[in-house]
Amino acid sequence: MTQRFRVAMLSAESVPYAKVGGLADVVGALSRAIADLGCSVAVFLPRYAGLNLPDASTLELVSQVEVPVRGEDTPGLLYALRGPDHPPHLTHYFIANDRTFGRPGIYNDPATGEAYPDNAERFAFFSRACLEGMRALAFAPEVIHANDHQVALVPAYLKTLHAEDPFFQMTASILSIHNMGYQGIYDPAAMEISGFPPEYFYPLSPFEFWGKVNYLKAGIQFADVITTVSERYAEEIQSGEEFGFGLQGVLNARREDLLGILNGIDVKIWNPRTDRLIAARYDAETLELKGVCKSALLEETGLPAQPDQPLFGMISRLAEQKGFDLIEEASE
């Protein structure tokens, strides 16, 4: 029997379990799509305190791993999601450690709105725990797909600390950049925390960024392939400071390995023909029913009914990068 192509998908968030932004939607939909192509997909996520599990789903403890952090082994528990609606060839694994993830919020403290001060350690732990988890599961992937800076150290681990590791000798790495504005920039102590030798940190090294450690930069330098969310964005992030946030030169140096792949949508969720959450379901043959949805939305939000004026909706974080300032300027 031919063995399925094995893909490990690593992310700090994925729908429906943990979501802050669009990263969660992409990881959730893409992992299912890859499994539908016949690959064996293992998704690794942190087990946050506020994890959102579907009804009738349970987490089964399948292994314990020892993760080197600050030069000491830190225990992590590896759970597998079990449930009636889980698709074949796709398994979600959750890395648990109460000190690291047993708190509210994913990246930030909800009480202050500020990033947790130990995020460098939290996501270095998670990155190494994913690799140790694969070993514990005897899941040697052909490809590890790391998403954003939280797991961007994984390609660096593969090319340095695991360079001679026979378990990962046939493993290639992909780093997907969903937002260049978030890079994981920390004090130099992050080198020791994450387990890299101090001699790896020097001016213009793969880890160094203006005297600090930059997780995303390390991932860009060491990944076999780098992808981002569209061809246009791949060009923009190489073009200058505005979009590259200081890493445009590093990206330009890797341009032969940098691909822009347009994000898609999960049509099982984003389909007005089957969506039970809208006022009227419609398709290409019944576009007039969009007016019913528009009227219902205007009524729900308390806006005046203006059938002849366009209504724009946007699902987004209120972040400067999203361009809300341009809308404000245009409305004046």
- Domain end, chosen from 244, 260, 276, is at 260
- Looking at the fold, whether 45 and 120 belong to one and the same domain comes out as yes
Residue range 193-238, pLDDT digits in tens: 999 999 999 999 999 999 999 999 999 999 999 999 999 999 999 9
Q: DSSP letter for 173, please.
A: E
Whether residue 281 lies inside any domain: the answer is no
Whether residue 280 lies inside any domain: the answer is no
Whether residue 313 lies inside any domain: the answer is yes
* Residues 257-271, mean pLDDT to the nearest whole number: 90
- Looking at the fold, whether 71 and 196 belong to one and the same domain comes out as yes
Give CA–CA dist 18/177, Å, rounded: 19
Q: SS3 of 253, please?
A: helix
Q: Which residues of 194-219 are buried (b: 16+ CB within 10 A; e: fewer)?
A: bbbeeebbeeebbbbbeebbbbbbbb
> Would strands 72-82 and 90-96 be described as parallel, antiparallel, or unpaired?
antiparallel
pLDDT of residue 83: 76
- Looking at the fold, whether 302 and 164 belong to one and the same domain comes out as no
Q: DSSP letter for 14, please.
A: B
Q: SS3 of 61, please?
A: strand
Residue range 272-309, pLDDT digits in tens: 999 999 999 999 999 999 999 999 999 999 988 887 88
Question: What pTM was computed for the model?
Answer: 0.90
Whether residue 26 lies inside any domain: the answer is yes
pLDDT of residue 16: 93
- Looking at the fold, whether 136 and 188 belong to one and the same domain comes out as yes
Query: Are the CB atoms for 275 and 241 separated by under 8 Å?
Result: no
- Looking at the fold, whether 158 and 294 belong to one and the same domain comes out as no
- Looking at the fold, whether 255 and 294 belong to one and the same domain comes out as no
Whether residue 133 lies inside any domain: the answer is yes
Whether residue 276 lies inside any domain: the answer is no
Whether residue 273 lies inside any domain: the answer is no
Q: SS3 of 183, please?
A: coil
Residue range 75-127, pLDDT digits in tens: 999 999 987 777 789 999 999 999 999 999 999 999 999 999 999 999 999 99
- Looking at the fold, whether 189 and 292 belong to one and the same domain comes out as no
Residue in the block written with tokens 């797991």: 151
- Looking at the fold, whether 245 and 96 belong to one and the same domain comes out as yes
- Domain end, chosen from 221, 243, 260, is at 260
User: How many domains, the chain?
Assistant: 2
Report the CATH number that the domain containing residue 27 is assigned in CATH.
3.40.50.2000
Query: Are the CB atoms for 207 and 160 separated by under 8 Å?
Result: no
Whether residue 272 lies inside any domain: the answer is no
Give me Rg for the CA atoms of the chain: 21
Centre a 10 Å sphere on the Cβ of residue 147 and count the other Cβ atoms it contains.
24
Alpha-carbon distance values, 133 to 33, 152, 277, 306 (Å): 23, 17, 38, 55
Give CA–CA dist 150/219, Å, rounded: 10
- Looking at the fold, whether 162 and 52 belong to one and the same domain comes out as yes
Tokens of 86: 């889980």
- Looking at the fold, whether 210 and 249 belong to one and the same domain comes out as yes
- Looking at the fold, whether 255 and 293 belong to one and the same domain comes out as no
- Domain end, chosen from 260, 276, 298, is at 260
- Looking at the fold, whether 206 and 105 belong to one and the same domain comes out as yes
Give CA–CA dist 6/138, Å, rounded: 11
Query: Are the CB atoms for 60 and 80 separated by under 8 Å?
Result: yes
**Which residue range is the domain that position 313 belongs to?**
287-331
Residues in the chain: 332
